[in-house]
A and B are shown apart, each in its own frame.
Chain A
């Protein structure tokens, strides 16, 4: 059946089964492929998007359950997003890069809630995002860098 959802500021209508996960609507129906599939069971965070600014694992959220406005990596913006993405590049965080869209989305949500996160705040906010390349040391450093950039702005 048809569902209307707001993605990246635009109202979109898709004709899919009600149990279709938001992830596959975003990727296959809307053609936004920055959000990744890693596990399908909300255990890895590669599919993280924002719903009304809050991080959400899109792989287990059926399209029929979407109640808010969705933002994906393609459209995430604002000072936190810029600070995070700049820090990701400056620290050369990504290796294979496949999980990093999800990492960035989680990190941006963290900094919007908490502009000066401690190491344990970072652990709490980021431990749902797996990185099999284990770029965690640099993810942590880049989040601290981004927080400093935001504080100086």
Chain B
């Protein structure tokens, strides 16, 4: 099992040359996919994906979703191989070229990987594509062997006819099958016949070997003759602009060949990374801060806390919460503060491009190929069709590589455009650029008032404030209606719990600091706020955190199922344990998946929370690769824990006060808890798993800290420098 070749030299890829090969591909027009998504109807059933079968028996699945670690390469290969009855060893994967007409994610209306939609979007498509390819191979074999198709069997990559004893691999019939019309109707397997889907196999991932030996190629590994490495000096403050610059000292650095102003700052071109780094250090730039954010985050937080004393725009309300709060019982208040967070993928942002005056050829870990194509086309003044993107493996993303502004693709095109036509350029952000670069998870404040009466929660009021990254973006039509950005309040405007008198309202903050979706998006803050507050109210009501939640979850059966499953897995007997530790629980629905977690926590001698073990139960529908699901939940827990404990990007007079992993502290192996994950059996259509492991972790830890006699941390991160 290996990955398809990712060339790192400039030879043109021949991904779609089908010489002697069977190529399966049916396409929906872009508009149709979008219309389906907007209609929120069932997932489209015609495959947009491609399968190529070579004369050498190799089956290559061409994957339209970006591989950032979350596993779509393996997932889509598994789905296609299942219906093809291929042998796992013959499967390969390759990234799809940027072409929205063929490779749109129909759930998002563009070629874009996000919202934990890869498997949800591709499950039916790849099954049908696999089944079609299988039917065509069988038809070709039947014609050659002069037998009936119904007498032909396919298993583990072998086509056979029992009566005559004939058999052959896929490759023998690939060329003949390619000449046949694709069947309009194909029968998909019954789940009981699955041999790959839902089955664990050590080493299933198609990319493990290359990624364990240094062979996997990422954007930063791109090279070409006479390539220039480019670093950009950007404003220390968000919204700042270049006033003037002096390149004299920079140009004296050995290996620095050019300095050019572009719209995002001043670009330094070097023969290699070190000259570019030294050149940029020697560059003198004066910045115009007249449009820049000059506030610090402490001032923003104070302003948001003040503003949230007044109700904002109502996102959802039922009953009469003010009346219920005034009706007696215990009224409980809480507020929570969430910092700006950087995504900090291990591979900082980067991109490679050659612009020949007519066509732009970009290679990078694009996460939103359609938007990136548009941005590059705009900068270069060419049609989108003249922008080729080869999507490379991305060294992590967590949301960072998809931006509505396509700022990275635009910057890449600008640095290419500023050089003589034909100059290969590699744009690289350093870690400091990454941490200082904005596009943060927005800073948020939540305020709550709730009432408990006669052992029940009788009122729930939630006012929040933060920036919207949807309002005014190209994605506005997806998330914003009548000025209400549903992403800001997802997970808070509709609870898993039935509380009759309820209100969730929102203030939209404005700042030049760019913000972005960050692994699990709105749930990064609503999951913590809601699950901490409900726990606090249940404690006041004298209820067990698990039983108390379940009593209010009559209309959320799958979430309740996950909660019951995790309670069983952890043998939950309440928050108190006998060993100086305590347990906390949380359950969150995100991206149509349901995850419940229990964290066992103590407080170390240094006063820092120590998370010993986390149990997780996940219901994400049909589990295509259960072990990848477990891996995503494990990783999601680690990602969530590191940020909840340690991470924030504070601004001081508008300037980020942290810059690298020394002060933007990240979870290390000695801080990683033991983890046990159970995947709840389900026959529901598959849903997301890249993000849903994240939201329940931090509130589960906070609730355990409360059970230890402390308070649920009101301001994240829990350990503040």
Q: Do A and B interact with each other, yes or no?
A: yes
Chain A residues at the B interface, C-beta cutoff of 8 Å: 16-17, 19-21, 24, 27-29, 31, 33-41, 43-44, 46, 72-74, 85, 88-101, 104, 122-124, 126-127, 129-140
Shortest B150–chain A CB gap in Å is 38
Task: Please pick, from B209, B274, B397, the residue contacting A28 in the complex, using a CB distance under 8 A.
Answer: B274
Closest to A32 in B: B214
Q: Is the CB of B347 within 8 A of A134?
A: no
Q: Is the CB of B638 within 8 A of A92?
A: no
Q: A132-B396, A135-B631, A138-B631 are in contact. Are A94 and B205 (CB under 8 A)?
A: yes
Shortest A118–chain B CB gap in Å is 12
Task: Please pick, from B205, B218, B396, the residue contacting A92 in the complex, using a CB distance under 8 A.
Answer: B205
Bound form: Cα–Cα A20–B254 in Å: 11
- Chain B 219-249 interface mask (CB, 8 Å, partner A; 1/0): 0110100000100000000000000000000
> Chain A residues with Cβ under 8 A from B395's Cβ?
36, 96-99
Bound form: Cα–Cα A137–B347 in Å: 21
Q: A41-B660, A92-B203, A101-B214 are in contact. List 5 more A-B contacts (CB 8 A).
A: A28-B272, A40-B277, A46-B346, A90-B203, A136-B672
Q: Is the CB of B214 within 8 A of A35?
A: yes
What is the total of A-B residue contacts with beta carbons within 8 Å? 191
Q: A28-B274, A88-B208, A126-B669 are in contact. Are A38 and B637 (CB under 8 A)?
A: no
Task: Please pick, from A43, A101, A122, the residue contacting B669 in the complex, using a CB distance under 8 A.
Answer: A122
Q: Does B374 contact A (CB under 8 A)?
A: no
Bound form: Cα–Cα A40–B204 in Å: 33
- Chain B 613-654 interface mask (CB, 8 Å, partner A; 1/0): 000000000000001100110111111011000000000000
Shortest A127–chain B CB gap in Å is 5
Bound form: Cα–Cα A34–B211 in Å: 9
Chain B residues at the A interface, C-beta cutoff of 8 Å: 8, 68-71, 202-205, 207-218, 220-221, 223, 229, 254, 272-274, 277-278, 344-348, 393-398, 428, 430-431, 627-628, 631-632, 634-639, 641-642, 660-662, 666-670, 672, 674-675
> Chain A residues with Cβ under 8 A from B636's Cβ?
134
Q: A33-B221, A137-B674 are in contact. Are A43 and B211 (CB under 8 A)?
A: no
> Chain B residues with Cβ under 8 A from A135's Cβ?
631, 634-635, 638
Q: Is the CB of B394 within 8 A of A96?
A: yes
Q: Is the CB of B218 within 8 A of A98?
A: yes
> Chain B residues with Cβ under 8 A from A99's Cβ?
346, 395
User: What are some 11 contacts across the A-B interface (CB < 8 A)?
Assistant: A36-B395, A74-B214, A96-B69, A96-B347, A97-B393, A97-B395, A123-B670, A124-B670, A132-B396, A137-B675, A138-B631
Shortest B580–chain A CB gap in Å is 19
Task: Please pick, from A38, A122, A140, the residue contacting B431 in the complex, using a CB distance under 8 A.
Answer: A38
Bound form: Cα–Cα A28–B69 in Å: 25
Q: Is the CB of B202 within 8 A of A90?
A: yes
Q: Is the CB of A95 within 8 A of B70?
A: yes
Bound form: Cα–Cα A134–B669 in Å: 8
